[in-house]
Structure 1
């Protein structure tokens, strides 16, 4: 069954949806949209590192994404506004990644594949990596759900309850780095942040509890992945951007539902 490239693509999209849905909710709640953007932009530098040292792409992207996320965490609140730090690091990482790729001797790199994804080229080993990473993220977030939620809602009350907000921030950072490494093959470095944020934002008007929002975001992410794949195949459009377009349409529809209730 997995010899069918469309089936592999669908399973890859579902794997990414599983990973990004609950994590995207925390990104929305913490207003960390640019944080995810900066981490995903650094992924291209990870691709260059992996190619230069003949390492697996997943490993190179994971190392750089984690390093970028930790750097952002360390620099935040050090006398420079968070938006400024995120803006500088996000665009600098992307630029350094593009320059680094150009210096690789004898290596032909399909930059578009890494920038906007190439879900139709997902192989069986890629699929195994995607689902292993997705399940790892899901297990990590599920295990720390209460602590992450407490640290998100009120860091002061979390400390009073014995929860270390900085530790939870690190766990969220680790999960974000794994998600970026998993998703780059499907939607690419430029669109990862969009797939993180849009399904969670679309789920918000439909939910009254955090757990409901996470479940709704997972359903919307899966629908976006499968719907984008079908539309892309039918209209011969780039699959990664089409997936994000479908997610954006669902977001618009949920906002219309919210406006109708008001």
Structure 2
């Protein structure tokens, strides 16, 4: 069954959707959209590092994404506004990564595949990495779900409950780095943040509890991956951007439905 490239692509897209869904909810709740974008942009530097060391893309992107996320967490509140700091680090990391890639000699690199994804080229090994990373992210979020929710709701309440909000932030940071590392093959650096934010934002108006929002977000992400791949196959369009387009259409549709429902009540 896995010999079919469309089957592998579909499984890869669904795996990334499951990894991004619960994490995307926290990104929306904490208003960390630019944080996810900065971490994703740093992944290009990880690609260059991996190719230089002749190793798999996953560990290099994971290491650099984690370093970026930890750096942002450490420097926040030390003299710079969060949006300024993220803007500097995000675009600097992307620029340094692209320059570093240009210095690699004897290696043919398809930058478009890393910037916008190449889901149709996913291999069986890539599937193992994607689903392994997704399982790890889901396990981390489920393990710390109550603590993460409390820290997101109110840091003072978290301290009063014996929790350390900074530790919960580090867990989110680690989960974000893993998600970026496994998603780069599917939707690419420039679209990872979209898969984190759009399904979660679309699910927000449909859910009544945080748990329901995470589950609905996963369903929206999975449907976006499947429908986007089908549309790309029929219309001969880029697969990664097609997946994000479907997610954006679902977001718009659910918002229109929500507005109509609220106007009638």
Structure 1 length-normalised TM: 0.99
Aligned equivalents of 2:261, 2:236: Cα separation in 1: 37
Match of residue 257 from structure 2:
257
DSSP 3-state at the match of 1:162: coil
Q: Determine the C-alpha separation between the residues in 1 that align with 2:161 and 2:258.
A: 35
Superposed displacement of residue 258, structure 1: 1.4
The reply to whether residue 23 of structure 1 matches residue 32 of structure 2 is no
Shift of 1:223: 0.4
Aligned counterpart, 2:50: 50
Displacement after TM superposition at 1:79 (Å):
1.1
The equivalent of 1:198 in structure 2 is 198
Structure 1 CA distance for aligned equivalents of residues 83 and 128 of structure 2:
36
1:133, distance to aligned residue in structure 2 (A): 0.3
- In 1, Cα distance between the equivalents of 2:69 and 2:244? 23
Unaligned 5+ runs, structure 2: none
- Once residues 247 and 72 of structure 2 are traced to their aligned partners in structure 1, the CA distance between those partners, rounded to angstroms, is 27
Secondary structure of residue in 2 paired with 1:31: coil
Spell out structure 1 runs of 4+ moving beyond 2 A: none
- Which structure 1 segments of 5+ residues have no match? none
Q: Which residue does the alignment assign to 1:84?
A: 84
Partner of 1:99: 99
Aligned residues: 262
After superposition, the C-alpha distances for 1:48-105 in whole angstroms (9 at most, x for unaligned) are 0000011210000000000000001011111110000000111101000000000011
Q: 1:9 corresponds to which residue?
A: 9
Partner of 2:183: 183
Once the two structures are superposed, what CA deviation does each residue of 1:10-38 show, in whole Å capped at 9, x if it has no partner?
00001001100000000000000000000
Match of 2:164 in 1: 164
1:65 matched residue in structure 2: 65
2:216 maps to which residue? 216
Query: Scaled by the length of structure 2, what TM-score is found?
Result: 0.98
CA distance in 2, matches of 1:218, 1:259: 22
2:227, 2:86 → 1: CA distance? 32
- Measured against aligned partners, the alpha-carbon deviations of 1:192-223 in whole angstroms (never above 9, x if no partner) come to 00000000000000011100000000000000
Mapped to 1, the partners of 2:90 and 2:254 lie a distance apart of: 30
User: Match of 1:128?
Assistant: 128
2:77, 2:259 → 1: CA distance?
A: 36
Give the match for residue 153 of structure 2.
Answer: 153
Determine if the alignment matches structure 1 residue 241 to structure 2 residue 241. Answer: yes
**SS, match of residue 106 in structure 2:** coil
Per-residue CA deviations over 1:143-197 (Å, capped at 9, x if unaligned) read 0000000000101100000110000000000000000000000000000000000
Write the mapping of 1:219-234 to structure 2, written as runs, cut at 5 A. Answer: 219-234=219-234
Give me the whole-angstrom Cα distance separating, in 2, the residues matched to 1:26 and 1:246. 22
Q: Distance in 2 between matches of 1:168 and 1:254?
A: 31
